[in-house]
Chain A
Amino acid sequence: MSPSPHPIELLRFNTCGSVDDGKSTLIGRLLYDSKNLMEDQIEALERSADITGGGQINLANLTDGLRAEREQGITIDVAYRYFATPKRKFIVADTPGHVQYTRNMVTGASTANLSIVLVDARQGVIEQTRRHTYLAALLGIPHLVIAVNKMDLVDWSEARFMEIRDEIENFLPKLGVFRDVKFIPLSALAGDNVVELSGKTPWYDGPSLLGHLETVHIASDRNLNTFRFPVQWVNRPNDPTDHSLHDFRGLSGQIASGIVRKGQEVIVLPAGIKTKVKHIWTYDGSLDEAFCPQSVTLCLEHDIDISRGDMLVGVNNLPGRSSELSAQVCWMHQRPVQAGKKYFLKHATQTVQAIVTKLENRISMATLEPEAEPAALGINDIGGIRLKTAKPLVFDGYTTNHLTGAFILIEQGTNATVAAGMLAAPTEAAKPEYSDFAI
């Protein structure tokens, strides 16, 4: 817990949209206008402007860090940027717009509190706008900003802005998971409504983009209700420096959700054994309680056989336990998936073998409607699949718990990460096989 009454919060956001919508320029503008750029970075920009840009500073060169990106003038991979204002610290994932890099957009967005989808005011809503908004919803990002960019090129027309806003509001109810959605008219190139409110939009009464990022309420985004603790590493010293710890057996991990208290009853899954938390151990001393996402080491009342991949949970709101799973996936690899293929599945802290038993549907990005029983899901496709795992998983539905409802699929042999998956809510809760621990 923080010693200061007003801890500086960290907001993670990503920017997405189509190629040339000006994502990298927008981030460059945020950094530049909030005085988070250093002289040598500005010098480097000016140097490359003299060489390639005809003297015009290209703010996108700040984030496009790879040679191929600068050559082609596009963003290939997620670039992370860091900046701070007196109100908040920010981690920005600048995610690519090209269709073939959608997997990187998912990478950047999976850890975000907020997603900024850029729309070119001249082009309006295009397939990439739908795809990225849909992905943000699918990934359960709580806060959405639709940044209508290049407003200077449509003469700051309120009518054009409202037209785009209406079109997006028409399909948003189909997605319907965002806590809040903000529409902001701006020009990343000129800086209007990015850091400071612009005089060019007297009809707009909302905050500037930075103003919104500094104030959007993120404190209740975390799940503090349901305790989930995937065991990451069994901490059993051979020869502890402190001899009083020679019987120490701790379970190290990061709390995925909820709060745990010393003395609290917990259930070890999948074994289904009930025991108590004897001790919450940390390097900085014992704690009476710990909460997500703290990393701690738990010692239990009883010496039970527990290893990496097991999960400790509270006695109420039990998770599901099943080897037959239903999930939405975003496919991320050139080799498509068909029913019958085998993969490694990494879920929380365990990796198991899994077979894709059925392709249920594929989401059409044009209509956002599912098309039933496709023959395959290819790269950048999103769809519903069914899986069977070699060992039952202890899990929650992704919408209620991101960290215990998410998985990745890994191709056997190449070890490529081929899919990001989100589990559907379990049909029934895990049943503890034994009500109490007995020696």
Chain B
Amino acid sequence: MSSYHLDHLEYLETEAIHVMREVAAEFERPALLFSGGKDSICLLRLAEKAFRPSDIPMPFLNVETGHEFPELLEFRDRRAKELGAKLIVRTVDEAFEKGIAHPTPGQVSRNQLQIPVLLAAIEEFQFDCAIGGARRDEEKARAKERFFSFRDNFGQWDPKNQRPEIWNLYNARVNPGENMRVFPLSNWTEMDVWEYIKKEKLEVPNIYFSHERECFRRGGQWLPVPPPHPDGTTPDPYTGARPKPNEPVKKLIVRVRTIADMISTGMIESKTDTIDDIIAEVSAARVTERGTRADDKASEAAMEDRKKAGYF
């Protein structure tokens, strides 16, 4: 009987496909959060496997901070087009104009500001479910997350009162105004994601591979130098994220291990030109991928606090 066996990637894949089909079957207006990052790239392939030859029965949604790597946006737009999916983009800048969000004094990172923008988008399109690429191995508050994670009328997560999730019987029922966040990659590790990208021959944005880039040292990390702001009439969106005189700029061979925006992503020095190189690097890594994320370092409960407020 040994031939009737799934290896661990095949097991994770069939579990994720089952979850995605439950979403399509149980919700009226689901969306799929697609940023162009490695985890959401896997989500797209899983969606193809779950729904082809039909169209993927949900639009893609992305919230931009305004500080994105341009390479990522190009990749995101192109992939959505190739798959024939509708891509909805909402931005923090628009939210400022509409009064949905307000700049936080003294805070350059717009990571937190994605929360009201996401919640407003969910309300605008009446989404009752958003599929995301979060994984439990990323962070210890995420380790407590369900596949189907219920959010109340305010988009809040209540970690002490989660619905028990038994077998593969997901309770997808929500009342009007409430919604569900669904995480098909819950059981995947960073290594599984790269192994899957390799197995499925998936294209990833080139910033995952080594390239030359101007960086500066801050908070124990190499941060990318933001793009120039030649326009003298509007405020520089990267104020505070530019290197200070005592932070010398160096040209380095770097890549990203995990992508937030340019302000929250530490670059790692690396010489990796292929997916195999990345897999070798991940397996030899001695820090977690979130170790390069400035947004998680705020406190031990940084992620828990953001998730309670409605973060993905």
Note all chain A residues with C-beta closer than 8 A to B18. 232, 254, 295
CA distance A281 to B167 in the complex (A): 26
Interface-located stretch among A184-192, A234-242, A310-318, A365-373: A234-242
Contact A80 B169 (CB under 8 A): no
Any chain B CB within 8 A of the CB of A82? yes
Partner of A219, one of B1, B11, B290, B300: B1
How far apart are the CA atoms of A106 and B162 in the complex, in Å?
13
Let me know if B229 is at the binding interface, CB within 8 A: no
- Contact indicator A66/B144 (Cβ below 8 Å): yes
> Provided the pairs A65-B143, A232-B25, A420-B166 are in contact, do residues A415 and B171 lie with their beta carbons within 8 angstroms?
yes
A408 touches B166 (CB 8 A): yes
Q: Chain B: which residue is nearest A105 at the CB level?
A: B164
A-B contact number at CB 8 A: 190
Contact present for A242 and B53 (CB under 8 Å)? yes
CA distance A103 to B48 in the complex (A): 35
Name the interface residues of A302-325: CB closer than 8 Å to any CB of B: 308
| Distance to closest chain B CB from A7 (angstroms) | 3
CB distance from A226 to the nearest CB of B (A): 14
CB–CB A107/B8 < 8 A: no
List B contacts of A254 (CB < 8 A): 14, 17-18, 168
A8-B7, A65-B144, A252-B21 given; A107·B165 CB < 8 A: yes
Q: Knowing A308-B25, A349-B25, A420-B166, say if A2 contacts B140 (CB, 8 Å).
A: no
Q: CB-CB contacts of B111-144 with A at 8 A, as 1s and 0s?
A: 0000000000000000000000000110111111
**Chain B residues in 8 Å Cβ range of A250:** 53
Of A41, A66, A220, which is within 8 A of B304 by CB? A66
A104 beta carbon closer than 8 Å to chain B: yes
Partner-binding segment picked from A120-128, A145-153, A206-214, A399-407: A399-407
> Is the pair B166, A107 in contact by a Cβ cutoff of 8 Å?
yes
Which has the most chain A C-beta neighbours within 10 Å: B10, B17, B52? B52
Contact of B285 with A by CB under 8 A: yes
Q: Are A407 and B169 in contact (CB under 8 A)?
A: yes
Interface residue from A235, A240, A295, A403 paired with B14 (Cβ < 8 Å): A295
- Which B residues between 146 and 181 are near A, CB-CB below 8 angstroms? 159-160, 162-169, 171, 173-175
Task: List chain B residues, Cβ under 8 A from A9.
Answer: 5, 7-8
**Residue count of chain A within 8 Å CB distance of chain B:** 82
B174's closest neighbor in chain A, by CB? A415
The CA-CA distance from A269 to B286 in the complex, in Å, is 53
> In the bound complex, do residue A7 and residue B7 qualify as a contact, i.e. CB atoms below 8 Å apart?
yes
A286 in the interface (beta carbon within 8 A): no
List residues of A whose CB falls within 8 A of some B CB.
1-2, 4, 7-10, 38-41, 44, 48, 62-68, 70, 76-82, 84, 89, 91, 103-104, 106-107, 110-111, 219-220, 222, 224, 232-233, 235-242, 245, 248, 250, 252-254, 259, 281-284, 291, 293-295, 308, 332, 344, 346-347, 349, 402-403, 406-408, 410, 415-417, 420
Q: Which 5 A-B residue pairings sit nearest by Cβ, starting from the closest?
A: A65-B140, A7-B7, A40-B291, A295-B17, A415-B173
